[in-house]
Structure 1
Amino acid sequence: MTWPRVKLKTLLTQPVQNGYSPICPDAPNGKWILALGALNGSGFDATQVKPAPIGDNRVDNFLLQTGDFLVSRSNTLNKVGRAAVFKGQIDNCAYPDLMMRFRVDESSINPEFLDMYLRSSEAVRHFQRAASGTSETMVKINKRAVENLLVPQPPFAEQAAIADLLSTWDVAIEKTERLIAAKERQKKCLMQQLLTGHQRLNGFKKPWSEFPLGELFQERSERASDHLPLLSITSGEGIIHRNEDRKDTSNEDKSNYLRICPGDIGYNTMRMWQGVSALSSLEGIVSPAYTICTPKKESDGEFMAYLFKLPRVINLFYRYSQGLTSDTWNLKYKHFRKIKVVVPEIEEQKAIANILKVCDEQIDLLKKQVEGYRRQKRGLMQKLLTGQWRVKARREQPA
């Protein structure tokens, strides 16, 4: 049986309304404005807020209430139309001009069911087709696009059952993400203790020694290797193939690019003071904007890669960077090599790196688990929210 569909505008108790975007101060004062990132495609991210200005009474006209629906009205093509229901996660919070708000009649539609449907592939395609703009970097949808969205209307009890079933995956995702956050805090604490020598591993008693980085690394400046794959050095994913970074490089002149090998550490010359460096497990070439360092026998590359992420060491990179403004600061090897760090003997370096690697492996495994839950949920949404599969009772929560 095919479910009837109605336009969203027939379910509204309040009209669709754009928000308000004041100039926000740096200091919080008790009222907040959502950032566009609060609608992240998976729901609502309550950390994405900015302080509201003091004394701007217009903000009060856009304060959110529990049950308000929000839709991104202006964004990139793959993000426009992102939606979520506000559940009171933040007190005294308004929404910006780049979002729209509406409320629905809860006797006509289950809000949790609608929240799920607004994130379904059907709803996403509707908003993308309705979007307009001069480029994909910023497109917009209007109120009519929201109002004209066709919403399926299964029996009310089935709406609740579908929402209840899909929410079990949300619970599993949320629990795993909390565990990831806890593991990341644990790793951060271990890095602070182990990489500074405040906590020593059993069996190691030799004092740590200070070295300039020039005694621990030599610069690799090999070029003319344009037959090798093109790589990128990222802050979050390490060193990856450039095609994973979504950049078209087919017409680039690569004759001046630098070779990087497994075990090397590469860093962004202009962003090293922001911690953009990584240990390579790949062989390839990278832009001349990077510097490539090869560890000498006194240093373990994995240990040093972790050390380079420590805030106190990043601060050293900041202090040794050269340039008039932050936009032009750079850390060439000739300045990098002068920086002094305190490190243990090579065997203790390796032991510390192994402990931190285990932390990374645990975190990566949990992230894969979360992505697995998300894939399962997307598949269920496709079946359940279109009526291909019917549900009458709650299923068990995923393990």
Structure 2
Amino acid sequence: MTWATVPIGTVIRSSQYGLSLPSDPEGLLPIVGMKDIQDGRVRIDPTVCINMSEEDATDYLLADGDILLNRTNSPDLVGKTGIYRGDGKAVFASYLVRLVLDRERVDPDYVIQILASEGGQRHIKQLATRAVSQANLNPTTFKNHFYIPLPQLGEQIAIRGVLLAWDTAIEKTERLIAAKQKRSESLSNRLLFGHSRLRQRNTEDTRALHWFSAPSDWQLVEIGKVAREVSALNGSDDGLPVLSCTKYDGLVDSLEYFDKQVFSHDTSKYKVVGRGQFAYATNHVEEGSIGYQDFVDAGLVSPIYTVFQSDPKKIADGYFYKLLKTEKLRQIFSARTNSSVDRRGSLRWKDFARIHIPLPPLDEQHEINAVLDDAKREIVLLQTEVKALKQQKRGLMQKLLTGQWRVTVPANKEAHHA
């Protein structure tokens, strides 16, 4: 069987806009904003408060089980939803809508599973009206046109119990990923700048530059001494994929990453970046937009990119790329961009090439790279596990919310909710 579906407005007792008050460093009452809605939950930031007494704010105090809906924001963020679980007193901002549900008919945790799901978020965004960079969701439209499946209350609770078990597994794995990423970043900084060394090498004797110090037996060289700029134009070849550079993922296939074309139709003046070459967005490198091309024989990047390649006799690509992606190098890129005479805020090759980097012997570079690759592999395996768990949950929701799969409801709950 399949469940009957009803407009969500039929199970909402009331809805309410929040307060339009600025945060106040002297305030004592936390106010929830969009950034506090994460992964279907409302999390209170005690550092963002308003100057209002609890007595005056009574009508806006959140209650356990309230659902907050982001009614106006960018197209990507409009419709973001979270459930408040009574974690301290707080009010909510004016661009959020509080939904108070009819608890005799629906379970709030069941409803938030639907609203915060990929399908639920996609449906909400379809109901929003869009301007150039802003989207707005009319609460009345949402209430009348967002439908939810409505099994008996006892079965709703049983269904959300199953889904929450998957949420727990996902959250646990994501926390483990975050911890390993933090450790990996710390390990990278220690090894790439010689603060920790492999095989009990000496770390006591160092020499310093303005931005960092390195072991005295390492060289401190300009990038231009170990790499050179490459500038090959595409011409008329339309068969090469266009690549984009991202802060965290480096170079990516643009169409696959953005799921739409964000580059020019005319790529004749685009630059070719071959396998084993580096590229950075000349006007965004201070954000960390630098990548290493190792997944296609050749790709294209916008003319605003700078392409370069290393000298393998002097520096290992893996070590070099990891060094370029550190926060320390990003800070150096930012400082050099700000001090550049280029009024467009770019860091061109002649200035980029003058940046100093620490350079251990080649054998040590390879050892450092191997250790950091092992740490990254652990993270990638966990990320793959999270993707699998999320896919399993999507499949479960499809079966459970349509009634194709039924969940056993304890007899006392069936009797209580009959």
- Bin the TM-score by the shorter chain: 0.7 to 0.9
Equivalent pair of 1:38/1:49 in contact (CA under 8 Å): no
Say whether 1:127 aligns with 2:143: no
Counterpart in the other structure of 2:141: 145
Inter-partner Cα distance in structure 2 for 1:208 and 1:60: 64
Inter-partner Cα distance in structure 2 for 1:251 and 1:23: 42
Of 286-295 and 169-178, more deviation after overlay is shown by 286-295
Counterpart in the other structure of 1:216: 226
Inter-partner Cα distance in structure 2 for 1:265 and 1:48: 40
- Please give the secondary structure, in 2, of the residue aligned with 1:224: coil
Inter-partner Cα distance in structure 2 for 1:304 and 1:44: 40
- Please give the secondary structure, in 2, of the residue aligned with 1:392: coil
Shift of 1:35: 4.1
CA RMSD of aligned residues (A): 3.2
Counterpart in the other structure of 1:342: 358
Of 202-211 and 347-356, more deviation after overlay is shown by 202-211
Counterpart in the other structure of 2:270: 257
Counterpart in the other structure of 1:86: 84
- Please give the secondary structure, in 1, of the residue aligned with 2:387: helix
Counterpart in the other structure of 2:389: 373
Kindly provide the CA deviation profile for residues 152-190 of structure 1, in whole angstroms up to 9, marking residues without a partner as x. 332222111111111111011001101100110110110
Counterpart in the other structure of 2:293: 280
Q: Structure 2 vs 1, CA of residues 201 and 100 (structure 1 numbering), >3 Å: closer, same or farther?
A: same
- Please give the secondary structure, in 2, of the residue aligned with 1:202: helix
Counterpart in the other structure of 2:69: 71
Of 296, 308, 319, 1:293 maps to 308
- Please give the secondary structure, in 2, of the residue aligned with 1:154: coil
Say whether 1:182 aligns with 2:182: no
Equivalent pair of 2:28/2:51 in contact (CA under 8 Å): no
Letter of the aligned partner of 1:273 in structure 2? E
Letter of the aligned partner of 1:363 in structure 2? I
Inter-partner Cα distance in structure 1 for 2:74 and 2:46: 20
Equivalent pair of 1:20/1:59 in contact (CA under 8 Å): no
- Please give the secondary structure, in 1, of the residue aligned with 2:300: strand
Flag structure 2 segments of 5+ consecutive residues without an equivalent.
Answer: 203-215, 411-418
- Please give the secondary structure, in 2, of the residue aligned with 1:219: strand
Q: Structure 2 vs 1, CA of residues 56 and 191 (structure 1 numbering), >3 Å: closer, same or farther?
A: farther
Shift of 1:38: 4.2
Say whether 1:243 aligns with 2:255: yes
- Please give the secondary structure, in 1, of the residue aligned with 2:99: strand
Equivalent pair of 1:30/1:92 in contact (CA under 8 Å): no
Inter-partner Cα distance in structure 1 for 2:343 and 2:243: 23
Q: Structure 2 vs 1, CA of residues 301 and 73 (structure 1 numbering), >3 Å: closer, same or farther?
A: same
Shift of 1:312: 2.4
Counterpart in the other structure of 1:163: 160
Letter of the aligned partner of 1:178 in structure 2? R
Q: Structure 2 vs 1, CA of residues 160 and 238 (structure 1 numbering), >3 Å: closer, same or farther?
A: same
Shift of 1:113: 1.4
Inter-partner Cα distance in structure 2 for 1:364 and 1:45: 28
- Please give the secondary structure, in 1, of the residue aligned with 2:199: coil
Inter-partner Cα distance in structure 2 for 1:324 and 1:60: 54
Letter of the aligned partner of 2:245 in structure 1? I
Say whether 1:307 aligns with 2:306: no
Of 16, 26, 36, 2:34 maps to 36
Letter of the aligned partner of 1:223 in structure 2? L
Aligned residues: percent identity? Answer: 30
Letter of the aligned partner of 1:158 in structure 2? E
Inter-partner Cα distance in structure 2 for 1:99 and 1:319: 39
Equivalent pair of 2:27/2:52 in contact (CA under 8 Å): no
Kindly provide the CA deviation profile for residues 236-265 of structure 1, in whole angstroms up to 9, marking residues without a partner as x. 222111212434257533232222122222
Inter-partner Cα distance in structure 1 for 2:305 and 2:46: 34
Say whether 1:387 aligns with 2:385: no
Equivalent pair of 1:265/1:301 in contact (CA under 8 Å): no
Letter of the aligned partner of 1:244 in structure 2? E
Equivalent pair of 1:32/1:49 in contact (CA under 8 Å): yes
Counterpart in the other structure of 1:18: 17
Inter-partner Cα distance in structure 2 for 1:332 and 1:39: 40
Equivalent pair of 2:154/2:409 in contact (CA under 8 Å): no
Inter-partner Cα distance in structure 2 for 1:146 and 1:327: 47
Kindly provide the CA deviation profile for residues 280-302 of structure 1, in whole angstroms up to 9, marking residues without a partner as x. 11321111221112111211111
Q: Structure 2 vs 1, CA of residues 344 and 21 (structure 1 numbering), >3 Å: closer, same or farther?
A: farther
- Please give the secondary structure, in 1, of the residue aligned with 2:41: coil
Counterpart in the other structure of 1:269: 282
